[in-house]
């Protein structure tokens, strides 16, 4: 496990890996400004263009658990190399595609490459950084990744305008492929002098159920589910429409408010990471505070007389909702603390599914509710649609509390047996009085 003192080599490895993640976020968002050109190039309409995004997100979510298993089996370095190759090849194919089906295939390749990056990066951080540094490094990694989304807007739009479709996407694909050499030379699975821990072939199929039996993994899943839902739903699809049609905000102001979702993630990530790194016992308090605040604000927005809350209230609410992105990093800190190192990749993949599945479900629920009440004015329609987000957030919050209590019970049971525990906790009146559920695994010794 990582030593208490972070080595220079660890930072070199992290730098090489986080650049891959930044590139993945760039490739993920590269179609956002290329949409009009794609419609002309492939002679398709808006619905067909939307399939690019839906397909890529679906591939990403579906690949998270398999990615975790691959990382535990083959090591993060090999998986990152595969990710870099797939991202580069996918963009080269996209540059040369002249038909819609080929372009869809290219985005699937990009989606698979994208899906391989985050879990691999977190596995490397878990191996090379001490537990007290883990949350901070993960938060900074997420914030840097968000810069990839920024680069995929104005800079990419300027490149497309000057160099054109084929040359622009061919160039970014070629640069990504060339970076494979840096990953090969700069990344190590474990610190120097340590042997890598890989899962035996006969145990690969047992990884997912073994990770799921850990109470801390289930807690991490529901934390990511609950905290990642609102930033994803509002940032990817419904935020702008809600502000313009539901609140009556001017389009320019609405764009700025939606941009706060990204900005809050970039600025808030390191701050949350620093707090939970120094005081790990406070991390679930932060999660519960976020969930309670978000449910309360959603309820106020949906119940506001006339259905159109003040713009200032909507702005404050969006900042609070956006903080769910940084807070979601708590999930990965929980995974690291409650799982043995050989299982961290798989458990990270399981937890990472939570926020993405919640985003997809939340987006669908809001869309269905808007269709049902489409005869109502925009403000009234969105008042009803927000109730779907409230219900989903309450579901995630309840399940988070249930598994929080069970994970705490495991820690207290381990302390009674005289074992070391990941985090020292103070027992409260609301804690479970008995041992945790039988279908969960014991708490591993801390790093």
**Confidence class for position 416, pLDDT limits 50, 70, 90:** confident
- pLDDT (mean) for 422-428: 74
Q: How far apart are CA 34 and CA 27, in angstroms?
A: 12
Segment 138-148, tens digit of pLDDT? 888 888 887 77
**Confidence class for position 1, pLDDT limits 50, 70, 90:** very low
**Residue 203 contacts residue 296 (beta carbons within 8 Å):** no
Report whether pLDDT(11) > 50. Answer: yes
Q: How far apart are CA 335 and CA 11, in angstroms?
A: 21
**Confidence class for position 134, pLDDT limits 50, 70, 90:** confident
Report whether pLDDT(129) > 60. Answer: yes
- pLDDT (mean) for 165-187: 94
Q: How far apart are CA 189 and CA 19, in angstroms?
A: 16
Q: How far apart are CA 42 and CA 242, in angstroms?
A: 30
Determine the pLDDT at residue 386.
Answer: 85
What class, spelled out in words, does domain 1-187 have in CATH? mainly alpha
Burial degree of 428 (CB within 10 A; 0-12, 13-18, 19+): exposed
Segment 71-127, tens digit of pLDDT? 888 899 999 999 999 999 999 999 999 999 999 999 999 999 999 999 999 899 988
- pLDDT (mean) for 437-441: 54
203-447: CATH topology is Growth Hormone; Chain: A; (1.20.1250)
* Torsion sign across C-alpha atoms 338, 340, 344, 346: negative
Which of the residue ranges 26-40, 82-96, 210-224, 382-396 would you say has the lowest mean pLDDT?
Answer: 26-40
| 233 vs 330 pLDDT, higher one | 330
- Between the two ends of the chain, the Cα-to-Cα distance in Å is 6
Residue 322 host element (H or E): helix 311-322
Q: How far apart are CA 317 and CA 311, in angstroms?
A: 10
**Which ranges in 63-130 belong to alpha helices (H)?**
64-74, 76-96, 100-115, 117-128
- Establish whether domains 1-187 and 203-447 are of one fold: yes
- Highest average pLDDT, of 27-36, 128-137, 265-274, 390-399, comes from 390-399
DSSP 27-56: HHHTTTTTHHHHHHHHT--HHHHHHHHHHH
- pLDDT (mean) for 244-259: 80
Percentage of the chain beyond pLDDT 90 is 30
Which of 258, 54, 236, 366 is CA-nearest to residue 228? 236
| 351 vs 239 pLDDT, higher one | 351
Report whether pLDDT(446) > 80. Answer: no
Q: How far apart are CA 61 and CA 120, in angstroms?
A: 15
**Confidence class for position 394, pLDDT limits 50, 70, 90:** very high
> Where do the domains of the chain lie?
1-187, 203-447
Determine the pLDDT at residue 18.
Answer: 95
| 363 vs 111 pLDDT, higher one | 111
Residue 346: which residues within 8 A CB-CB, separation 6 or more?
A: 65, 68, 69, 71, 72, 207, 208, 210, 211
**Confidence class for position 218, pLDDT limits 50, 70, 90:** very high
Q: How far apart are CA 10 and CA 12, in angstroms?
A: 5
Determine the pLDDT at residue 17.
Answer: 95
Mean model confidence pLDDT for the chain:
83
**Residue 167 contacts residue 279 (beta carbons within 8 Å):** no
Determine the pLDDT at residue 3.
Answer: 44
- pLDDT (mean) for 147-157: 75
**Confidence class for position 370, pLDDT limits 50, 70, 90:** confident
């Amino acid at each position: 496990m990582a030593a208490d003192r972070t080595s220079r080599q660890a930072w070199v490895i992290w730098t090489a890996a986080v650049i891959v993640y930044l590139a993945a976020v760039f490739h993920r968002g590269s179609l956002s400004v290329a949409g009009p050109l794609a419609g002309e190039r492939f002679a398709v309409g808006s619905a067909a263009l939307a399939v690019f995004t839906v397909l890529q997100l679906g591939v990403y979510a579906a690949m998270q658990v398999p990615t975790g298993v691959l990382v535990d089996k083959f090591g993060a370095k090999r998986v990152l190399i595969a990710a870099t190759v797939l991202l580069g090849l996918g963009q080269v194919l996209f540059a040369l595609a002249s038909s819609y089906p080929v372009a869809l295939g290219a985005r699937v390749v990009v989606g698979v490459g994208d899906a391989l990056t985050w879990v691999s990066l977190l596995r490397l951080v878990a191996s090379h950084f001490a537990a007290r540094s883990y949350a901070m490094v993960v938060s900074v990694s997420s914030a840097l990744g968000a810069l990839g989304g920024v680069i995929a807007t104005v800079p990419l739009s300027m490149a497309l305008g000057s160099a054109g479709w084929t040359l622009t996407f061919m160039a970014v694909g070629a640069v990504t492929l060339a970076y494979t050499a840096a990953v090969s030379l700069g990344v190590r699975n474990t610190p120097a002098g340590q042997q890598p821990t890989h899962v035996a072939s006969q145990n690969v199929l047992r990884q997912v159920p073994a990770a799921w039996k850990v109470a801390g993994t289930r807690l991490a899943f529901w934390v990511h589910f609950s905290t990642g839902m609102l930033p994803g739903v509002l940032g990817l699809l419904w935020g702008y429409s809600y502000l313009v049609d539901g609140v009556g905000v001017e389009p320019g102001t609405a764009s700025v408010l939606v941009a706060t979702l990204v900005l809050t993630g970039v600025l808030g990530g390191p701050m949350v990471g620093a707090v939970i790194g120094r005081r790990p016992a406070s991390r679930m308090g932060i999660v519960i505070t976020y969930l309670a605040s978000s449910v309360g604000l959603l309820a106020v927005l949906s119940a506001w007389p006339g259905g159109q809350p003040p713009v200032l209230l909507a702005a404050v609410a969006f900042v609070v909702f956006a903080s769910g992105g940084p807070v979601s990093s708590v999930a990965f800190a929980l995974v690291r603390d409650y799982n043995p190192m050989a299982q961290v990749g798989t458990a990270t993949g399981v937890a990472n599914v939570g926020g993405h599945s919640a985003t997809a479900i939340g987006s669908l629920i809001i869309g269905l509710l808007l269709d049902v009440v489409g005869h109502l004015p925009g403000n009234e329609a969105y008042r009803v649609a927000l109730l779907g987000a409230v219900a989903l957030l309450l579901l995630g919050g309840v399940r988070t509390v249930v598994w929080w209590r069970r994970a705490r019970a495991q820690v207290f049971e381990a302390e009674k047996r005289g074992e070391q525990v990941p985090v020292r906790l103070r027992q409260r009146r609301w804690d479970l009085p008995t041992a945790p559920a039988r279908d969960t695994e014991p708490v591993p010794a801390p790093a």
